[in-house]
Chains A and B, each alone.
Chain A
Amino acid sequence: MDKIWVMVRKEWAEVFKNRIVLFAVAFLPLIFTALPLVILYSTRSGGDTSALGMGDLPAQFAQVCGDLGGAECMQYYIISQFMLLFMMMPIIIPITIASYSIVGEKTTRTLEPLLATPITTGELLLGKALAAVIPALAATWGSFLIFALGGQILALTPAVTARLFAPLWLLAIFGVGPLLCVAAVSVAVMVSSRVTDPRVAEQLSSLVILPLLALFLSQTFGLILLDETLILWIGIVLLAIDAGLLYFAVQLFQRETILTRWK
């Protein structure tokens, strides 16, 4: 365990000196938090919606809102579109760090002395993965808390704010979010150990966001509706995918091949 934390601390010391990584970890969450708050604030000041009844809203709104009133329902419906944005954060943020993790060691020629130490492949990959997962989750959860608090101050009624701490959101942000993050990091580390260029690693790893983007668009266009059951199923499937990805990441990390085929 000590070697894993030694690895994590080294990764942080190194990657956070990189401005692109800092941008990904700090700036992106800020944008993703500010965007929904600005939209909420503008819908509040855009006109009086207090007189809206449920009958005035499309049918899919009612499915999401439950017992909320018309105006509250409209606000909550807008907010719920951003849930997927908070689920995207734990994918986007760590990819920059994780995709550089192994190929970065190759390009700086530090991989050979690193592999010459008594660190095991599991410790090495876990250290690399945690170094990407922890900041991503911290930034996501921090952003969510800022969003929830900001929403209360800026726009939302207590009834709507309370919905942000309902099982659906908590499961999505604190359950599925980490699972998505682990999946993204596993893919990025695998790609990073097979390629020779950090940019290629980042570009290939970024493809992992596509399924979530499809989900986001499907919800935006009303094709699906994220509820507790769907989120739970997504979580279960991700759990299996993560286990498989972690296994393959360790299996694919062939020390000898990486050392001898890398020029």
Chain B
Amino acid sequence: MTESHGNSPMVYSQGLTKQFDELVAVEDLSLSIPAGEVFGLLGPNGAGKTTTIRMLSALIGPTRGQAKVAGYTIGEQDTQVRQRVGLLTETPGMYERLSAEHNLGFFAALYEVEDVPAQVERYLRMLGLWDRRHEAVGAFSKGMRQKLAIARALLHEPEVLFLDEPTSSLDPEASLMVREFIAELKGEGRTIVICTHNLNEADRLCDRIGILKTRLLAVDTPKALRRQMYGRTVVFHLAKAEPSYVSLVEALDYVHTAQLMENRLLVTLDDPEGRNPALVRALVEAGAEIQFVGELRRTLEDVYLRLVRHTEGAEVSHG
């Protein structure tokens, strides 16, 4: 499914910038997404996610910078890029008077798919729409249209798949179905870029996350982002909390911060697996009665909100 491009990334951009008159929609975007990775592009409305996807799909040209997708240069080899990219647009956009089969057949022919009927049948069956293939799309529910739009994006077996808000405005059941389908695609080794507001979805599906607010604020795995933003925090549930425990653990050189919250002592440190035994020992020797120990789980939402609210254009990390 994915052609080899040597060690070159499947999606690469350097200083990619898009300006509409006075408005800078995307600024200095540098990305490198290897083949087979599922990459999540997160950001508030108007952050430039759709503009980025449109540039990388060769729909609109960058104002500055360069980008390569599947080995082809944006702005110079746009037809080749479009042939190798699948795009799920924010709204499904189907010909409502035409049947599901006709809709897919039309796009498959434009993508010069070899055996159009067979490929259309394959995806209609895969997405559970085969029995309704003759019905006009106008009669379809939002979920069914979204499935059809996903099928359309996949018909020509693209090397790179761009999904813009794949589950927005879908009910929970349809969202789950779409998420499961994306997970299946991930299993097939496709390179997928997802724009989403659903942070839980991004956390579950994406290998790496990029947080965009005109500029790229951070790029890394969800786990690494959590660590970089918050460190690793160990929670000690105590029978009785004493303020002296805070100064005790803060005196240890491997502890970054410590704080008491009711009967819990929250300690931020590197390498908790290696350091916890000594930490537990120190607390017990100081008279602490430890009921149990756990790690404080930060969500991607915590990371996202902290970055978007508090970092004005400052890059945190590029992993």
Mark A residues whose CB is within 8 Å of B: 2-3, 6-7, 10, 13-14, 17-18, 108-120, 255-256, 259-260
Contact: B110 with A112, CB < 8 Å?
no
- What residues of A have a CB within 8 angstroms of the CB of B98 in the complex? 10, 13-14
- Binary CB contact string for chain B from 73 to 115 against chain A (1 if under 8 A, 0 otherwise): 0000001101101010101111111100010001101111000
Q: Is B292 an interface residue (CB 8 A)?
A: no
- What residues of B have a CB within 8 angstroms of the CB of A3 in the complex? 109-110
Q: Is B152 an interface residue (CB 8 A)?
A: yes
Instruction: Among A2, A117, A120, point to the contact of B107 (Cβ < 8 A).
Output: A117
The A interface is mostly helix, strand or loop, or mixed, namely: helix
Known: A116-B87, A117-B82, A256-B60. A6 touches B95 (CB 8 A): no
C-alpha gap A99/B98 in the complex (Å): 20
Contact: B95 with A10, CB < 8 Å?
yes
C-alpha gap A43/B4 in the complex (Å): 79
Contact: A116 with B97, CB < 8 Å?
no
Contact: B109 with A2, CB < 8 Å?
yes
Contact: B112 with A112, CB < 8 Å?
no
Contact: B60 with A117, CB < 8 Å?
no
> What's the nearest-Cβ distance from chain A to residue B13, in Å?
18
- What residues of A have a CB within 8 angstroms of the CB of B152 in the complex? 113
- What residues of A have a CB within 8 angstroms of the CB of B111 in the complex? 117-118
Contact: B109 with A113, CB < 8 Å?
no
- What residues of B have a CB within 8 angstroms of the CB of A113 in the complex? 87, 89, 93, 107, 149, 152-153
Closest 3 CB pairs of A and B: A109-B93, A117-B110, A6-B109
> What's the nearest-Cβ distance from chain A to residue B159, in Å?
14
Contact: A14 with B95, CB < 8 Å?
yes
Contact: B93 with A120, CB < 8 Å?
no
C-alpha gap A17/B102 in the complex (Å): 13
- What residues of A have a CB within 8 angstroms of the CB of B106 in the complex? 6, 10
Contact: A18 with B97, CB < 8 Å?
yes
Q: Is B65 an interface residue (CB 8 A)?
A: no
C-alpha gap A3/B82 in the complex (Å): 15
- What residues of B have a CB within 8 angstroms of the CB of A114 in the complex? 110
Q: Which residue of A lies closest to B136 (CB)?
A: A17
Contact: A116 with B92, CB < 8 Å?
no
Contact: A260 with B20, CB < 8 Å?
yes
Q: Which residue of B lies closest to A3 (CB)?
A: B110
C-alpha gap A196/B87 in the complex (Å): 24
Q: Is B34 an interface residue (CB 8 A)?
A: no
Instruction: Among A10, A108, A119, A259, point to the contact of B54 (Cβ < 8 A).
Output: A259
Q: Which residue of A lies closest to B102 (CB)?
A: A13
Please list 21 pairs of residues, one from A and one from B, whose beta carbons are closer than 8 Å in the complex, sorted by A's number.
Answer: A7-B110, A108-B93, A108-B95, A109-B91, A109-B92, A110-B93, A112-B59, A112-B93, A113-B87, A113-B107, A113-B152, A117-B82, A118-B79, A118-B80, A118-B83, A118-B110, A118-B111, A119-B110, A255-B59, A260-B20, A260-B60
